[in-house]
């Protein structure tokens, strides 16, 4: 009898952890995608409209994009850790999208942004940076979309 209760308690605890990981993953992806969307579609354009000079707006935008990079990397790490044992069928594509988005964020921060700040061939580097930002946004959005279609109960059933 005691082993049955213990097994039942362990199963319920495991189920609760699966649900927690699923929700944590969802929250991290939603935060990442929402912040990318807000920054790229709303905040930065408003900076360029209301700041006294494009140079000042660009400097502020660079700081915001840098902060966005670190937020994205943290959210990506949370997703990778949270999805370690979830979504057995979905994990490879979900993790691939998260890793691709993290790579875009790192390339933007470490390779593209310094060249934009130096105003070195600005049109080229700004275009590449915009494309990488868009790819990052699409990867995170697609990962979020795939995760929304993965019901928590299916994850629990697959663990058993």
pLDDT at 19: 82
Q: Is the Cβ–Cβ distance between 85 and 159 less than 8 Å? A: yes
CA 34 to chain CA mean position, Å: 9
What pTM value is reported for the model?
0.83
pLDDT beyond 50 at 157: no
Query: Mean pLDDT over residues 132-156, rounded?
Result: 82
Q: What angle do CA 49, 51, 57 make, to 5 degrees?
A: 95
More confident residue, 82 or 88: 82
Q: What is the pLDDT of residues 28-87, one digit of tens each?
A: 999 999 999 999 999 999 999 999 999 999 999 999 999 999 999 999 999 998 877 655
* 146 vs 150: CA distance, rounded Å: 7
Q: What is the pLDDT of residues 97-127, one digit of tens each?
A: 999 999 999 999 999 999 999 988 999 999 9
pLDDT beyond 50 at 155: no
pLDDT at 4: 57
Q: What angle do CA 47, 49, 51 make, to 5 degrees?
A: 60
pLDDT beyond 50 at 153: no
Alpha helices in the chain (DSSP H): 2-38, 44-50, 54-82, 91-107, 113-117, 122-148, 152-159
pLDDT beyond 70 at 146: yes
pLDDT at 150: 61
């Amino acid at each position: 009898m005691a082993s049955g209760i213990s097994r039942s308690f362990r199963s319920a605890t495991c189920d609760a952890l699966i649900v927690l990981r699923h929700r944590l993953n969802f929250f991290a992806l939603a935060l990442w995608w929402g912040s990318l969307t807000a920054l790229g579609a709303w905040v930065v354009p408003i900076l360029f409209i209301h700041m006294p000079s494009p140079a000042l707006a660009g400097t502020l935008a660079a700081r915001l994009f840098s902060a966005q990079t670190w937020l994205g990397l943290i959210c990506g790490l949370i997703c990778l850790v949270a999805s370690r044992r979830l979504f057995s069928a979905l994990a490879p594509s979900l993790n691939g999208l998260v890793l691709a988005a993290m790579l875009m964020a790192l390339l933007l921060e470490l390779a593209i942004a310094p060249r934009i700040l130096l105003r070195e061939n600005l049109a080229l580097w700004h275009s590449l940076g915009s494309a990488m930002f868009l790819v990052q946004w699409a990867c995170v959005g697609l990962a979020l979309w795939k995760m929304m279609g993965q019901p928590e109960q299916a994850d629990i059933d697959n663990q058993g």
